[in-house]
Amino acid sequence: MSPTNAPRHGKTGKPIDTAKLDRVVAEARKATDERAAGYREQALKLYPWVCGRCSRTFDRSNLRELTVHHKNMDHDHNPPDGSNWELLCLYCHDNEHQKYEEHLAALAAGHGGRASGGVGSGVKQTTHNPFEALADLLKQRE
């Protein structure tokens, strides 16, 4: 890509060095893969090859579908005893991270972990009660 056709920074308008960006991304991916290979091998030696959520069992033929989940979401916290890890299948691992993202979004939205619609949540509560007159109707039938 010639400098005139190079993508430009959204705020400064300066050309972006895509080759440098590609190198940085490649180095980061390599470092992540190396780090993951280390704790993954340890976890596979420590724990049975079973998903900690759905109990699906794994063998060498499908072991690539078993992942190491960091319980505290910190991928740099890798104690040698494996206390921050659990083995999860791809699907359960994705689900765990989705739940965590939803939790963070709720906190950011100011819900503070409360159920929506609760007192002080800023959400209007329902005022209509469709069974409000039910007690009176039942008394009339007696």
Residue 85 CB coordination number (10 Å): 22
pLDDT at residue 1 is higher than 90: no
pLDDT at 37: 66
pLDDT at residue 6 is higher than 80: no
d(CA 66, CA 120): 42
Average pLDDT, the chain: 82
Q: Does domain 18-110 have CATH number 3.40.1800?
A: yes
d(CA 2, CA 21): 16
pLDDT at 69: 94
Closest CA to 85 of 33, 41, 30: 41
Closest CA to 67 of 47, 83, 54, 51: 51
The better pLDDT of the pair 63, 33 is held by 63
The better pLDDT of the pair 59, 125 is held by 59
Listed by start position, the domains of the chain span: 18-110
**Whole-structure pTM over 0.85, yes or no?**
no
pLDDT at 126: 61
Summarised one tens digit per residue, pLDDT across range 69-97 is 999 988 888 888 999 999 999 999 999 99
Give me the mean pLDDT over the 44-71 stretch.
95
Residues in contact with 54: Cβ distance below 8 Å, sequence separation at least 6, in sequence order: 89, 91, 92
d(CA 65, CA 89): 6
